[in-house]
Amino acid sequence: MTLLPFAATLAAVLGLAVGSFLNVVIYRVPRQESIVKPGSHCPACDVPIKGRHNVPLASYLVLRGRCHSCRSRISPRYPLVEGGTAILFAAITLRFGLTPVLPAYLYLAAIGVALAGIDLDGARLPDSIVLPSYVVGVLLLLPAGATQTGLRAPLLALAGMAALLVLFLALAAAYPSGLSFGEVKLAGLIGLYLGWLSWSALFITAIGSLVLAAATGLTVVATRNASRYVAVPLASCLIGAGVLSLFLAAPLSGWYAALLTT
């Protein structure tokens, strides 16, 4: 137990580094650019960013949100992605502890941040991230499955994947202009992870994503005086609901079970 806060701190540091890399992924992958070459550079003046100016979160604060070379403003999204990933990594470490399943959910958090950023930019969800993540997810969950007796968790994971795939495929067929097949494939991936945990986590994810999408659409219509047909970042809502269910599913299930027995 005493190691857990230290592990969460290390996870946060790792999250800062991973978040810095995710910023590259969010910017380059939709543009079909290499995430390896060239190195980080300012999108305004194209000058390569020096190592001391590329320290996650700290460099943004020291440079006051501006490029060291041309003084153009740096998007606040960069520190938000880095800081958000660090917080998620620490929270997930505290949630799952030092267990075999931890790497799988840290990976889910990382690709969730990347895909949410791409979705909020208005780009299509890239198959180059979503499809390989099915394989990576299974491989990362296998060690956790090996420590358990029986096939309950793996079967729940497969059932969860199928359930969200079918649900979002039906929604895509009913509302093709509002739901893409990229979001359907993402739903199956999230169903794999959340199904592994419990049916309640899966249920919260499914319902929560639709509630968040509806609330987002109504907010946009109300604040921007837009028409009732607005583009809603449904992938981001699905990811957000999935992350929330990691932390809310167990206490909500316990509360509901206690309510039934009173």
For residue 42, which of 3, 73, 12, 82 has the smallest C-alpha distance? 73
Give the model's pLDDT for residue 256.
63
Q: Say which amino acid occupies 204.
A: I
- Residue partners of 259: CB distance under 8 A and separation at least 6: none
CA distances from 255 to 94, 190, 202, 252 (A): 21, 24, 17, 5
Instruction: Quote the CA–CA distance of 57 and 19 in Å, as a whole number.
Output: 9
> Quick one: how far is CA 71 from the chain centroid?
31
Give this prediction's pTM: 0.89
Instruction: Quote the CA–CA distance of 219 and 69 in Å, as a whole number.
Output: 39
Residue with tokens 């994810």: 205
User: What tokens does 243 get?
Assistant: 């992350």
- Residue partners of 123: CB distance under 8 A and separation at least 6: 30
Per-residue pLDDT of the chain (262 residues; tens, 9 = 90+): 578 999 999 999 999 999 999 999 999 999 888 888 877 877 777 777 877 778 888 888 888 788 877 888 888 999 999 999 999 999 999 999 999 999 999 999 999 999 999 999 888 899 999 999 999 999 999 888 777 766 788 888 999 999 999 999 998 888 877 788 889 999 999 999 999 988 889 999 999 998 998 888 777 777 765 555 556 788 999 999 999 999 988 787 777 667 667 6
